[in-house]
Structure 1
Amino acid sequence: MTVPDHASPASPAETPAAPPHDLGLGRILAEQSGERFLNKDGSFNVQRQGMGWQSISVYGSLLTVPWWLFFLAMGGLYLLLNALFGLIYYVLGSGALSEEPLAGMQRSLACFFFSVQTFGTIGYGHVYPLTTAANTVVTLEAFVSLLGVALATGVLFARFSRPQSRILFSRHAVIAPFQGSTALMFRLVNGRRSQLMNARIEAVHTQFEVLADGRRVRRFTALTLERSQVTLLPLAWTIVHPITPQSPYWQATPQQLGESDAEIMVIFNATDEAVQQTIHARSSYKPHELRWNARFADLYRRTPRGDLYVDVERLHDTETAVLDA
């Protein structure tokens, strides 16, 4: 049996279809959503309802909520547990603990603070349980505090160890001169002091297209980038999409892009050298966030010693440019 040097090309029926570029948004959302798909901060304008309480993940929420809310939740839970055990000591009666007031608010506070001392294994020594019931409650509280401290410590460590990206995207994209023609450009910098490696970026253009029968269908087009991957990202990165006849921006006008509800969705990922984990960032640009006949101002500066640095405060600065004819 003779094996050919090169495999014969697949027939049209066997040729796999090109993958869709809708980033997984789906046809219904793509065609019926009246808002931008990605906010400037990378969050999605999609809501899910009717999932019930099974969708709640306490651990996931504690990892993702803001720091102030995390500490507020931890502090509230700490006070609630101590108030609960303090109430149990109070119900056990005045003879359950030594050297405590007999009644009133003073006794309530004494029971609460004894719970705080037990929960934190402080043990000043002047108050201690006298009855078997009180000792049983102390044993239970010691066990709860052991688990609570372990869980709180684990969640706190997990929050610190999560890779946190701070990729700063320019507020605007520009239509600027590029190699005798024009290009769509936007830029980004790493907002943290750690270094990024193997950075990759994907840009997808979407807009409504009117078919011959009058129906409006949303189309997704992956933008061809001059460079979609860099091995090292120590400073800044200007993303360039050359505007060629194959580009959706070829001979496009701001009015046309606005009427077609155009949007550029940007997906970025890289490896953080400090933690050796992958970080992600997202953003988008709508037609009103495009600046025509403009280019980005220079980001690079030099110190008095001649060292090169990036002035991040100029990330969003643009200046007028004359587009090539």
Structure 2
Amino acid sequence: MFSYLRKRFASHIRERSRRRARLVSKDGRCNIEFGNVEQPRFVFLIDIWTTILDLRWRYKMTIFISAFLGSWFLFGLLWYVVAYIHKDLPEFNPSINHTPCVDNINGLTSAFLFSLETQVTIGYGFRCVTEQCATAIFLLIFQSILGVIINSFMCGAILAKISRSKNRAKTITFSKNAVISKRGGKLCLLIRVANLRKSLLIGSHIYGKLLKTTITPEGETIVLDQVNIEFVVDAGNENLFFISPLTIYHIIDKNSPFFHMAAETILQQDFELVVFLDGTVEATSATCQVRTSYIPEEVLWGYRFAPIVSKTKEGKYRVDFQNFSKTVAVETPHCAFCLYNEKEAKAKEKKGYDNPGFVLSEVNETSDTKM
């Protein structure tokens, strides 16, 4: 009993580790990390805009808040220093005729409030810069310019993060499994994809990459070798009318890497099929890419997708997403090679064949009847 449980546990661990060994997750995220990078980390600061956009929301909001609070506090210290040097603070007991650089700055708190009012252009009218100090005028101009730059950069980064086409890609969904069955008399690998919004993706294009480990004739092992997989739909794979779910398919012919696979051996294969959908968002004209992946356990041989589009009594077309990833078992050849051999055999049955062993011999007919 203990031996049986140990084998089941080891098999479960192997199966689980195999399922996790994928480059692209189902939601399109890439499972890869970089090690021993020789370039220093500060090179990412050269392209600071992309670095800020790629940050997660918690880090982005931390930088957003820190940028404003930090600049307000820093300039508050500078305004306090200006008031301290010019002896405008109450502890210096200025005379009645004394004209301060900034009116009504009595300490660090009031200097911080004046810094905030200046940078965000509130202007309550209680604290203001006088013409007494050139230093204060220069500091006011410098803070106003820097405040505009900070506002533009940080607000632009937040807006760009919200409107990124990456979020539009989340409303494009792929079927949980890929299926292999006959379509149009050919053995095909089929995948279903749907657009959850009524707005279209303009100029959509679908293609795939088969990732596997190969060994070259020279003995070199190539990990994650990429093989192009062509996907088509009945209307063509360019400029798709992507208003309803589509079933894309790859024809398994002699040029396909799936040609030598069979229903009994596909689970023993080590590959990952990555599917890409590129398009332009109709509302923003921004390009986006959606991707997902399938491993051998997610490719079902001998199945097809259940229909999901129907027509209501009111004349509308209804899409039932409850059956979006539902599959139905169908009769399917267990390998592509067998299907093509079957077609060739049927084609030969319709033709005549010469028997090379057949010899035609002429027989001379003689009449033994005598008159």
Q: Distance in 1 between matches of 2:310 and 2:110?
A: 63
Among residues 63, 66, 70, which one is paired with 1:80 in the alignment? 70
Q: Distance in 2 between matches of 1:199 and 1:148?
A: 37
The amino acid across from 2:138 in the alignment is: T
Among residues 33, 43, 48, which one is paired with 1:54 in the alignment? 43
Query: Compared with structure 1, are the counterparts of its residues 217 and 128 closer, same or farther at alpha carbon in structure 2 (3 Å cutoff)?
Result: closer
Among residues 284, 289, 297, which one is paired with 1:288 in the alignment? 297
Query: Compared with structure 1, are the counterparts of its residues 174 and 146 closer, same or farther at alpha carbon in structure 2 (3 Å cutoff)?
Result: same
The count of corresponding residues between Structure 1 and Structure 2 is 286
Q: Distance in 2 between matches of 1:186 and 1:203?
A: 11
Decide which structure has greater helix share: 2
Query: Compared with structure 1, are the counterparts of its residues 153 and 134 closer, same or farther at alpha carbon in structure 2 (3 Å cutoff)?
Result: same
Among residues 145, 149, 165, which one is paired with 2:147 in the alignment? 145
Query: Compared with structure 1, are the counterparts of its residues 99 and 62 closer, same or farther at alpha carbon in structure 2 (3 Å cutoff)?
Result: same
SS of 2:103 mapped into structure 1: coil
SS of 2:30 mapped into structure 1: coil
The amino acid across from 2:63 in the alignment is: A
Q: Distance in 1 between matches of 2:303 and 2:138?
A: 75
Give the number of the structure with larger relative contact order, counting CA–CA contacts within 8 Å between residues 6 or more apart: 1
1:321 aligns with 2:311: no
Query: Compared with structure 1, are the counterparts of its residues 220 and 186 closer, same or farther at alpha carbon in structure 2 (3 Å cutoff)?
Result: same
1:248 aligns with 2:257: yes
In structure 2, runs of 5+ residues without a counterpart are 1-19, 90-100, 334-371
Query: Compared with structure 1, are the counterparts of its residues 216 and 100 closer, same or farther at alpha carbon in structure 2 (3 Å cutoff)?
Result: closer
1:225 aligns with 2:225: no
Larger Rg: 2
1:98 aligns with 2:103: yes
Match of 1:174 in 2: 179
SS of 2:227 mapped into structure 1: strand
Contact kept in structure 2, 1:36 and 1:45, CA below 8 Å: yes
Q: Distance in 2 between matches of 1:81 and 1:294?
A: 62
SS of 2:149 mapped into structure 1: helix
Match of 1:12 in 2: none
SS of 2:126 mapped into structure 1: coil
Decide which structure has greater strand share: 1
With the length of structure 1 as denominator, give the TM-score of the two structures.
0.73
Match of 1:109 in 2: 109
Among residues 311, 314, 325, which one is paired with 1:305 in the alignment? 314
Q: Distance in 1 between matches of 2:59 and 2:78?
A: 29
Name whichever of 75-84 and 122-131 sits farther off. Answer: 122-131
Q: Distance in 2 between matches of 1:312 and 1:110?
A: 60
The amino acid across from 2:124 in the alignment is: Y
Q: Distance in 1 between matches of 2:68 and 2:296?
A: 49
Query: Compared with structure 1, are the counterparts of its residues 190 and 215 closer, same or farther at alpha carbon in structure 2 (3 Å cutoff)?
Result: same
1:38 aligns with 2:24: yes
The amino acid across from 1:62 in the alignment is: I
The amino acid across from 1:322 in the alignment is: V
Structural mapping, 1:267-282, within 5 Å:
267-282=276-291
SS of 1:42 mapped into structure 2: coil
Match of 2:60 in 1: 70
1:204-254 CA-to-partner distances (Å, cap 9, x unmatched) read 223335689987556543334343614221222211123334433336257
Q: Distance in 2 between matches of 1:108 and 1:258?
A: 71
Query: Compared with structure 1, are the counterparts of its residues 277 and 138 closer, same or farther at alpha carbon in structure 2 (3 Å cutoff)?
Result: closer
Q: Distance in 2 between matches of 1:275 and 1:225?
A: 27
Contact kept in structure 1, 2:44 and 2:51, CA below 8 Å: no
SS of 1:51 mapped into structure 2: coil
Q: Distance in 2 between matches of 1:285 and 1:197?
A: 26
Match of 2:272 in 1: 263
Among residues 240, 243, 246, which one is paired with 1:234 in the alignment? 243
Match of 1:30 in 2: none
Query: Compared with structure 1, are the counterparts of its residues 144 and 250 closer, same or farther at alpha carbon in structure 2 (3 Å cutoff)?
Result: same
